[in-house]
Amino acid sequence: MMKYICLILVLALAGCGATVPDKYTNRKVAYCDPSGTSLLGVPYTRSSRSACAVALAPFDLGTWQEAAYNSHKVRGQQAVNLGCQSLTPSAEGCNYCGQMGSSRTIMMNFDTTVYPEGAAVRRAVLAVYAFTNPGGLYEAHLRGRLNVGGELQSLARQREIFTGGNRGKGWVFFDVTAFAARAINERRNSVQFEVSQTCQTEQIPITVGLLRNEPRLVVEFD
């Protein structure tokens, strides 16, 4: 009888493992041929033809909605309006949100241990897509920490907008080279980034991609 129970458990676990999406599996990035890249749709241009560039999807992605009496994290959104927004019970699912002018923060986690150990990082960028007002996203506040519970630090003074000829939308590349290199070198498996927009009197909305045109960490290395 115990043999049958064990067999059922093994088959059940195997079935669960088969349903795990590819983006959440711990696939290692091999040292690659410089002629090939894996950018997952990010229009990143390598700084050196002899280097490789590999983009990584976050294993956790959501929006932190800050309200006076009901702050909470939301997952599964295709896109989000970044910045100060009024949170209402009907739209945001909170019984009492508090005062008007609440704020949203994008939170994402990456496992940098998938990159080769000892990789020499040339450049690393956090690529975030703006469906509207990429210039506003360029001015957004980026913070990061190397592990859960660690201290958040301000990042990416150097930034770049890639619109592809369309000024109304495009990617913003936040340069996180030193931060990502340290994360890879120290084999950090839960590196967190937070992108937020401070509240201002006059603020143009920024629609940022989440599950649609998902943020990516792009690392160029030798």
Burial of 144 (0-12, 13-18, 19+ CB in 10 A): buried
User: Which tens digit of pLDDT belongs to each residue from 43-82?
Assistant: 999 998 888 999 999 999 999 887 777 777 889 999 998 8
CB 104 within 8 A of CB 82: yes
Write out pLDDT tens, residues 111-138. Answer: 999 999 888 999 999 999 999 999 999 9
**DSSP for 134-147?**
HHHHHTSEEEEESS
Token digits for 48? 């050196």
* Residue 35, pLDDT score: 61
Q: What gap in Å lies between CA 106 and CA 118, rounded to an integer?
A: 30
Token output for 165: 């000829």
In this prediction, residue 205 carries a pLDDT of 79
Q: Express each pLDDT in 163-188 by its tens digit.
A: 988 878 999 999 999 999 999 999 99
Separation between Cα atoms, residue 117 and residue 185, nearest integer Å: 7
Q: Which residues of 1-25 are buried (b: 16+ CB within 10 A; e: fewer)?
A: eeeeeeeeeeeeeeeeeeeeeeeee
- Given a cut of 60, whether residue 222 has pLDDT beyond it is yes
pLDDT for residue 102? 67
